[in-house]
Amino acid sequence: MEKKLKVMLTTDSTKRGVFTCLINEKDKNLENIEAEDIRMVVYWSTDVKGIIGLAAKGPSKSCRVTAAVKKGIIKGVVGVFELTDAAYKKFETEPWG
């Protein structure tokens, strides 16, 4: 069975998306990635200290994160950041300030 990574994906400047999801480890260098348990980060507050802070610590109460969809393809990926377990658990709570 393929190892799944808990990641945050960022997309290119035309799409400007930030997503958390599960991906197959072998896909982490692709531009278009099939993903599971996908959530979009609609807004993050300054207290999380940017995208890297989100990946390290997860969203705060003032961030806005959507509900998850089961599967999808995220296109135009330019960044793949592995999430800490603690950060992933916070995203699972789907905070919406």
How high is the pLDDT of residue 66?
93
Instruction: Give me the domain span that covers residue 79.
Output: 4-92
Domains contained in the chain, number: 1
- Indicate whether 97 belongs to any domain: no
* Tens of pLDDT, residues 45-92: 999 999 999 999 999 999 999 999 999 999 999 999 999 999 999 999
Do 70 and 2 contact (CB within 8 A), yes or no?
no
CATH classification of the domain holding 65: 2.30.30
Place of tokens 């509900």: 67
The model's pTM: 0.91
Closest CA to 86 of 46, 66, 51, 59: 59
